[in-house]
């Protein structure tokens, strides 16, 4: 399934755009971060090797457990004797467990990848985005281990009293322009430029 054809027409164009978003530099940063936490890295570099490394979901669940203990409860270990269908179901369940744990941790649903994005190698750029967002949220939550990306800002809620809000309504914003400098006064001939020199 990982090498399924990209289709024709619009589907092929959409697939090509998703492929173009995948940056090997981002992959290197994410792999180095995961290696510093888990002491493990994919056997090779590249998109396919990265996808194969994460495909069963175990690495992702272990990563989440390292960041927040017990976040991925009871993920499935690989089953050597299981048939292909059962193995596929359990691998996809592991990925779903990781996504659920990441959502509960605070990562926005708009930053998450879908299970098929990883399992079928459809949108690996979104997988990288999710992992970077996980690192950013871990900084905000006080995780002491290695991090990448930027810390998510805290909310800065301001509480203004009614008097201050009323005063703000009467101020003309700069985007509205000004009536102090340029005017159409004295523009009698057609096509004459506006006189923007301030008058005294």
- What is the pLDDT at residue 19? 74
- What is the pLDDT at residue 196? 66
User: How many domains does the chain divide into?
Assistant: 1
What residues have CB less than 8 Å from 64, skipping those under 6 apart?
Answer: 71, 72, 98, 101, 102, 105, 134
| pTM (predicted TM-score) | 0.71
- What is the pLDDT at residue 1? 47
Give the number of other Cβ atoms within 10 Å of residue 116's Cβ: 13
What residues have CB less than 8 Å from 51, skipping those under 6 apart?
Answer: 2, 118, 121, 124, 127
CA atoms within 13 A on the CB side of 153: 3
Residue 178: inside a domain = no
The residue ranges of the chain whose pLDDT is under 70 are 1-8, 10, 78-82, 174-200
Residue 125: inside a domain = yes
Residue 115: inside a domain = yes
Give the number of other Cβ atoms within 10 Å of residue 87's Cβ: 16
Rounded Cα distance, 158 and 177, in Å: 27
Residue 173: inside a domain = no
Residue 51: inside a domain = yes
- What is the pLDDT at residue 5? 60
Residue 59: inside a domain = yes
CA angle 183, 187, 191 (to 5 degrees): 110
| 136: CATH | 1.10.418.10
Residue 121: inside a domain = yes
Work out the burial of residue 24: count CB atoms within 10 Å of its CB; fewer than 13 is exposed, 13-18 middle, 19 or more buried. Answer: exposed
Query: Token pair of 168, please?
Result: 């703000």
- What is the pLDDT at residue 69? 86
Residue 196: inside a domain = no
Query: Token pair of 118, please?
Result: 């990883």
Domain hosting 126: range is: 10-140
Helix (H) or strand (E) holding 137: helix 124-140
């Amino acid at each position: 399934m990982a090498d399924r054809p990209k289709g024709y027409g619009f589907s092929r164009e959409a697939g090509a755009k998703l492929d173009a978003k995948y940056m090997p530099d981002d992959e290197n940063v994410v792999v180095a971060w995961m290696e510093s936490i888990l002491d493990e890295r994919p056997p090779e570099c590249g998109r396919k090797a990265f996808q194969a490394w994460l495909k069963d979901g175990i690495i992702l669940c272990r990563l989440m457990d390292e960041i927040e203990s017990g976040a991925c409860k009871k993920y499935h270990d690989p089953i050597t004797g299981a048939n292909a269908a059962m193995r596929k179901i359990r691998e996809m369940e592991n990925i779903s467990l990781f996504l659920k744990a990441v959502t509960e941790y605070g990562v926005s649903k708009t930053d998450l990848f879908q299970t098929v994005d990883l399992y079928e190698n459809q949108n690996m750029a979104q997988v990288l985005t999710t992992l970077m967002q996980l690192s950013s949220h871990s900084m905000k939550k006080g995780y002491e281990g290695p991090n990448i990306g930027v810390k998510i800002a805290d909310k800065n809620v301001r509480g203004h009293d009614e008097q201050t809000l009323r005063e703000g309504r009467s101020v003309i914003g700069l985007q509205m322009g000004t009536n102090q400098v340029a005017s159409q006064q004295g523009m009698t001939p057609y096509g004459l430029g506006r006189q923007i020199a301030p008058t005294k």
